[in-house]
Amino acid sequence: MTPFEIIFLAGWIIEEVIRFPHRRRYRQELRQRGAAYSRMTVLGVTLDMLAFLGMEIVPLIAIFSPWLDFANCSMPAGLGWLGAVFMAGSIVFLILAHRDLARNWSPSIDLRQGHQLVTHGIYAHLRHPIYASVWLWCLAQALLVHNWIGGLVGLLLFLPVYLTRLPVEERMMLDVFGEEYRDYMRRVGGIFPRLRRK
């Protein structure tokens, strides 16, 4: 195991620890109250599962088993350290997003009773910091897991999730929050901050 794979594993453990209480709370609240407004589809669930495989399971197989050794590659150390920076950024974005969303967070495309539009904290700069976190994760994975399959599969399998889920999510927010969300979209960038506010 390389030092960069150890960094990837450390990041994986940290992100799982960050997500665990939010997932548990979401499941408990969903059992009690259910989703008030949901747009999750079978395609969405399937793409989410494939992305999970690509970002969490396949890289672990590449690191811990010989099955993907035929796709091993080497990269300059500088790219590995850049991957470590991306991993740290992914973790920071995830922590800030969960802190600011609090009980409004959902792993699927749904809103619950009393859902509020969050526009403070990191959401004052990005509408989708969790997606930004996942993109940083995928870039980190590509640079830390020195295996063509284990490194790149996260990028390849998250792209269809992003391209299909984001428009549905934005439409749902517009349907529920209307002009308030439309104004928010004009002021705040999606996964990149706007350099100049409109």
DSSP 104-137: G--SSSEE-TT-----SGGGGTBS-HHHHHHHHH
Q: What is the rounded CA–CA span in Å between residue 142 and residue 87?
A: 11
Lowest mean pLDDT among 54-63, 71-80, 105-114, 188-197: 105-114
Chain centre to alpha carbon of residue 41 = 18
Residues in the chain: 198
Averaged pLDDT, 31-36: 68
Q: What percent of the chain has pLDDT over 90?
A: 76
Band of residue 36 on the pLDDT scale cut at 50, 70, 90 = low
Output the average pLDDT for the chain.
Answer: 91
Q: For residue 4, give the nearest of 74, 95, 94 by alpha carbon.
A: 74
Give tens-digit pLDDT for 76-122: 999 999 999 999 999 999 999 999 998 888 888 887 777 889 999 99
Compute the distance between CA of residue 68 and CA of residue 72 in angstroms, rounded to an integer: 7
Q: How confident is the model at residue 156 (pLDDT cuts 50, 70, 90)?
A: very high
- Dump pLDDT digits (tens) for 120-147: 999 999 999 999 999 999 999 999 999 9
Q: Who has greater pLDDT, 7 or 195?
A: 7
What does 23-50 look like in DSSP terms, one character per residue? Answer: HHHHHHHHHHH--SEE---HHHHHHHHH
